[in-house]
Amino acid sequence: MAETEFVDRVSRALGVSRDELVKRGIEEFLQAQLRACLAEIRELEVRYGVKGSGGLEEKIREGVVDEHPAWEDLIVLENLEERAGKIRRELNALKT
Whether the pLDDT of residue 1 is over 80: the answer is no
Q: What is the DSSP string of 44-62?
A: HHHHHT-SHHHHHHHHHHH
pLDDT of residue 72: 98
Whether the pLDDT of residue 89 is over 80: the answer is yes
How many angstroms separate the CA atoms of 25 and 46, rounded? 32
Whether the pLDDT of residue 96 is over 90: the answer is no
User: pLDDT tens-digit profile of 41-74?
Assistant: 999 999 999 999 999 999 999 999 999 999 999 9
Q: What pTM was computed for the model?
A: 0.90
Each domain of the chain, given as residue ranges in start order, spans: 3-95
Average pLDDT, the chain: 96
